[in-house]
C-alpha cells in the first residue's frame, strides 16, 4: 500500500462473546465516519461487520467464549477495507456457505443470509478458510463522502 493513499488503520481483538458484536459494529462505524459516509453507507458497514463477527462467534467458535475475534480496518484513499478473522473450526465448503439460505446451524434458526448480505453490501468480498484453521473475511467498500456528493447535486 502506497504512503500517498494510506490514511489510517485500526485493529480490535475481543473474546468470542455475542455481546462484543455490537462493540465491533460501533467501533468500525466510528472509524469509518472520518470519510464522512452517507447514512446508507454507514449502515452497510455496520451490517457487514455485524454479520461477519456473528459468523465468527456462532460458526467459527460454535458459541464458545474462549475464542478471539480480530477485526482490522484500513482507510486507503476513499476505500475502507475490513477484515474479520477467527481461529475457529473453519468452513469445509466455502461455495456452499455462500449460497443464500444455507446455514450449518438450522437449530439456532439462522437465516443463512450472512455471506449474501456481505457480498451485496460491499464492493469486494473474499473468504479464506480451511477446516481447523479458522476463517478470514476480507471486504472493501468505496465511500462517496456526503461533502463530495453535495458538490455534484
Q: For this structure, is 110 an active site residue?
A: yes
Contacts of 39 (CB under 8 A, 6+ apart): none
Summarised one tens digit per residue, pLDDT across range 44-100 is: 999 999 999 999 998 899 989 999 999 999 999 999 999 999 999 998 877 777 766
- Predicted TM-score (pTM) of this structure: 0.86
114 confidence band (pLDDT: 50, 70, 90)? confident
Q: For this structure, is 8 an active site residue?
A: no
The CATH architecture annotation of domain 7-147 reads 2-Layer Sandwich (3.30)
User: 71 is written with which cell numbers?
Assistant: 477485526
The DSSP secondary-structure symbol of 56 reads I
Give CA angle at 98 (97, 104), nearest 5°. Answer: 25
Summarised one tens digit per residue, pLDDT across range 6-40 is: 789 999 999 999 999 999 999 999 999 999 999 99
Task: Give me the catalytic one of 20, 25, 41, 51.
Answer: 51
Q: For this structure, is 153 an active site residue?
A: no
Amino acid at each position: 500500500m502506497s504512503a500517498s493513499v494510506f490514511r489510517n488503520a485500526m485493529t480490535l481483538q475481543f473474546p468470542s462473546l455475542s455481546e462484543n458484536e455490537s462493540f465491533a459494529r460501533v467501533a468500525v462505524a466510528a472509524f469509518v465516519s472520518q470519510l464522512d459516509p452517507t447514512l446508507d453507507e454507514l449502515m452497510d458497514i455496520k451490517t457487514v461487520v455485524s454479520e461477519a463477527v456473528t459468523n465468527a462467534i456462532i460458526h467459527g467458535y460454535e458459541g464458545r467464549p474462549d475464542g478471539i475475534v480480530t477485526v482490522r480496518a484500513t482507510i486507503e484513499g476513499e476505500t475502507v477495507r475490513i477484515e474479520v478473522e477467527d481461529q475457529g473450526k473453519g468452513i469445509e465448503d466455502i461455495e456452499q456457505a455462500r449460497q443464500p439460505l444455507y446455514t450449518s446451524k438450522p437449530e439456532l434458526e439462522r437465516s443463512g443470509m450472512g455471506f449474501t448480505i456481505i457480498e451485496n453490501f460491499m464492493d469486494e468480498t473474499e473468504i479464506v478458510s480451511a477446516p481447523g484453521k479458522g476463517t478470514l473475511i476480507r471486504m472493501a467498500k468505496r465511500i462517496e463522502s456526503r461533502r463530495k456528493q453535495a458538490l455534484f447535486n
